[in-house]
């Protein structure tokens, strides 16, 4: 390889591509390397693409709300067209069911501080908006093999919070390819079907990477954006012990079911997060409903080898999620054949990401995205690029973690929240909610 690169980015998922785009805009010559054949077909490709704003920390809410601008103005962000098409954002709005599992007063406080637009729905309003639902509280979420699952509840839900600017991107792989095209237009390069197996260093400075075929590519900056493989790359860089927050690959199933008769999800459905039943759901192509687990305590956590895990939907998890959804939507037809996808979350110890430098000069990390950072990728790409530029110019980010100013909201985000040496954040939901 004859070209000289300023920065090598390991991974061409949505966050790797957004980081390349932003670094390229700043004049860095970047190379993304991915073991897959194209951009966005790692865990991003199976993301549900939900864009919602409730997170358990103020900085999480601020990043997510800032991200709304990008999804509402996708073509403007990209600055280019893409012959593969431009990914569509479905602005359904998001219903966030108030439940005993989530601290609504805390999230409301963050919403008010950040300025998130929302409507506070009482039970009567919720009933008028979701006419197909049963409004009993089923809390705590249970699996169908628990006899308590079938008990008839007597309590009702309190209501919900509705954020009208939320929704989902139906084709996250395409959105990633859009950013790849945008980055290429700014001079970025991409190398596919190549696996990074080593990070070379000398005197605690990054020298570059080594590929599986022993090719060496040099760059003084290497960024780990390898998704559920992040812990492997952290190990290659010799940083497992220096990162006090660890990351692991967690298997996650998402299921697709037909709606009840007379209900058209694509016309009338919202993105809904229902921690009262431990599930989220939204409309899906083909006028179906897509549903996933919100990680309630009853669902087992399956940490796996990211290169060797079961990609088949399992009857037990399918039954658990679909039956829970059927409690909320009693007319839901239960299909005979489970359908859905299986992929991995790159989960950190506290389900908050690591967006940081490292103890190795020139080595940066955007990892631990814990099933909830697709939506934030454009903001994270810009924040990572600014962090890299500052640190490379001598800023001591460890002594005083950077404050990042969100360009559209004008608010600052304390990147200390995403530091590799933070204490486990007790305010986290310790779930996909973040």
- Tell me: does residue 369 bind ligand FAD (CB under 6 A): yes
- Tell me: does residue 94 bind ligand FAD (CB under 6 A): no
Q: Where in 211-250 is the site for ligand FAD (CB under 6 A)? A: 225-229, 233
Q: Which is nearer to ligand FAD, 52 or 327 (CB)?
A: 52
Q: How far is CA 74 from the centre of its chain?
A: 17
- Tell me: does residue 273 bind ligand FAD (CB under 6 A): no
Q: Where in 19-58 is the site for ligand FAD (CB under 6 A)? A: 33-36, 42-44, 46-50
- Tell me: does residue 195 bind ligand FAD (CB under 6 A): yes
Q: Which is nearer to ligand FAD, 49 or 159 (CB)?
A: 49
Q: Where in 328-347 is the site for ligand FAD (CB under 6 A)? A: 343-345
Q: How far is CA 253 from the centre of its chain?
A: 15
Place of tokens 């954040």: 425
How many chain residues touch ligand FAD (CB under 6 A)? 38
Q: Which is nearer to ligand FAD, 159 or 163 (CB)?
A: 163
Give alpha helix (H) positions in 186-336: 230-236, 265-268, 315-328
Quick one: 27 exposed, middle or buried, by C-beta within 10 A (0-12, 13-18, 19+)?
Answer: exposed
Task: Please give the Cα distance from 45 to 173 (Å, whole number).
Answer: 5
Q: Which is nearer to ligand FAD, 101 or 196 (CB)?
A: 196
The residues, ordered by sequence, that sit 6+ positions from 301 with a Cβ below 8 Å of its Cβ are 250, 295
Task: Please give the Cα distance from 115 to 97 (Å, whole number).
Answer: 20
In the list 159, 283, 371, 401, the residue contacting ligand FAD (rule: CB under 6 A) is: 371
Q: Which is nearer to ligand FAD, 125 or 210 (CB)?
A: 210
The residues, ordered by sequence, that sit 6+ positions from 372 with a Cβ below 8 Å of its Cβ are 55, 351, 432, 433, 434
CB of 7 to ligand FAD, least distance (A): 15
CB of 248 to ligand FAD, least distance (A): 13
The distance in angstroms from the start CA to the end CA of the chain is: 40
CB of 44 to ligand FAD, least distance (A): 3
CB of 229 to ligand FAD, least distance (A): 3
Site stretch for ligand FAD (CB under 6 A), options 120-128, 318-326, 327-335, 368-376: 368-376
- Tell me: does residue 321 bind ligand FAD (CB under 6 A): no
CB of 274 to ligand FAD, least distance (A): 14
Task: Please give the Cα distance from 232 to 337 (Å, whole number).
Answer: 36
What token pair was written down for 212? 């599986």
CB of 127 to ligand FAD, least distance (A): 26
Task: Please give the Cα distance from 196 to 1 (Å, whole number).
Answer: 15
Quick one: 267 exposed, middle or buried, by C-beta within 10 A (0-12, 13-18, 19+)?
Answer: exposed
CB of 372 to ligand FAD, least distance (A): 5
**How would you classify residue 238: left for phi > 0, otherwise alpha for psi between -120 and 50, otherwise beta?**
left
Q: Which residues bind ligand FAD (CB under 6 A)?
A: 10-16, 33-36, 42-44, 46-50, 195-196, 225-229, 233, 252, 254, 343-345, 369, 371-375
């Amino acid at each position: 390889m004859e070209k000289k690169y300023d920065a090598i980015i390991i991974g061409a998922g949505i966050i790797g591509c957004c980081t390349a785009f932003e670094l390229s805009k700043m004049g860095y010559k970047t190379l993304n390397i991915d073991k897959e054949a194209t951009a966005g077909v790692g865990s991003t490709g199976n993301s549900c693409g939900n864009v919602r704003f409730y997170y358990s920390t103020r900085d999480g809410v601020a990043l997510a709300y800032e991200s709304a601008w990008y999804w509402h103005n996708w073509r403007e962000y990209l600055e280019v067209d893409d012959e593969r098409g431009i990914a569509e954002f479905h602005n359904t709005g998001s219903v966030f069911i108030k439940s005993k599992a989530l601290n609504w007063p805390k999230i409301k406080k963050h919403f008010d501080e950040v300025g998130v637009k929302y409507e506070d729905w009482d039970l009567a309003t919720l009933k008028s908006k979701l006419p197909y639902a049963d409004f009993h509280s089923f809390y705590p979420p249970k699996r169908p093999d628990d006899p308590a699952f079938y008990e008839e509840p007597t309590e009702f839900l309190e209501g919900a919070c509705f954020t009208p600017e939320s929704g989902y991107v139906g084709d996250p792989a395409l959105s990633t390819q859009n950013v790849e095209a945008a980055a290429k237009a700014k001079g970025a390069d991409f190398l596919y079907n190549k696996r990074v197996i080593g990070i070379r260093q000398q005197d605690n400075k990054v020298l570059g990477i080594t590929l599986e075929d022993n090719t060496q590519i040099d760059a003084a900056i290497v960024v780990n954006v390898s998704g559920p493989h992040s812990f492997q790359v952290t190990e290659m860089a010799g940083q497992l012990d220096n990162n006090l927050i660890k990351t692991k690959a967690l298997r996650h199933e998402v299921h697709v079911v037909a709606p009840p008769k007379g209900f058209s999800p694509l016309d009338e459905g919202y993105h809904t997060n229902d921690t009262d039943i431990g599930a989220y759901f939204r409309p899906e192509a083909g006028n179906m409903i897509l549903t996933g687990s919100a990680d309630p305590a009853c669902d087992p956590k399956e940490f796996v080898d990211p290169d060797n895990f079961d990609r088949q939907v399992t009857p037990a998890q399918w039954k658990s999620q679909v039956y829970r959804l059927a409690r909320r939507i009693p007319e839901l037809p239960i299909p005979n054949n489970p359908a859905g996808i299986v992929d991995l979350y790159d989960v950190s110890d506290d389900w908050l990401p690591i967006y940081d430098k490292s103890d190795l000069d020139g080595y940066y990390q955007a990892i631990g995205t814990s099933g909830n950072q697709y939506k934030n990728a454009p903001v994270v790409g810009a924040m990572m690029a600014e962090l890299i530029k500052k640190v490379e110019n001598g800023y001591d980010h460890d002594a005083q973690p950077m404050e990042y100013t969100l360009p559209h909201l004008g608010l600052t985000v304390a990147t200390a929240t995403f530091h590799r040496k933070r204490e486990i954040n007790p305010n986290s939901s310790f779930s996909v909610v973040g």
